Amino acid sequence: MIRSILLGLLLIAPASFANEAITEGPAGTEMAVFAGGCFWCTESDFDKMPGVVETISGYTGGEASTADYQQVSAGGPGHIESVAVFFDPSKTSYATLVEAFWKTIDPITPNAQFCDHGSQYSSALYYANDKQKALLEASREALARSGRFEQPIATLILPRQPFYPAEEYHQDYYQKNPLRYNFYRTTCGRDARLEELWGN
């Protein structure tokens, strides 16, 4: 709701939008996909990480062969808001990104992240092969056994599916519209909840 108001302030009238799945980024990078609720925020969080070369906000996990914001935000074709992260494997690793990701999300609330509710805002980790799947399962199990949370870990572990980039106005939103982005992030209670869950 908050984001819908902010987008309305930009006088954006989304026309028909069709996009193609992407599978690779800049030369020499590897691709990982994460879902942490609002993709503006997840993109911003990963852009701050050493070794991350590029991030793209988008949609994944649904049955449709394309996706757009109107469909996904309404809970349409089963896609989840997500971010493709392209990283330099000589400077960071998939495992490092996974461990950092946990502290950017609420891992104990299913079908929601902060003020955004619905399966399209679920938190999820996507694997491209059996090695990544085993790493994700071990990471989630370690968090579950850590004793930090009484509730079960709700974050999904899913096979990577076609990733569709979001509309251009969503890309790097936190840089293009910093005041609106910070208003949304604060009003949504994201950082307050993260501090409650993870501390400083």
Identify the CA nearest to 60 among candidates 124, 11, 147: 124
Contact status, residue 112 vs residue 90, Cβ threshold 8 Å: no
Instruction: Report the alpha-carbon distance of residue 107 to residue 102 in Å, rounded.
Output: 7
Active site residue 38: yes
Q: What DSSP character marks residue 22?
A: B
Beta bridge partners of 22: 163
**38, 41, 115, 188: which one is catalytic?**
38
CB contact set of 61 (below 8 Å; sequence gap of 6+): 35, 78, 79, 80, 82, 124, 158, 161
By annotation, the residues acting in catalysis are 38
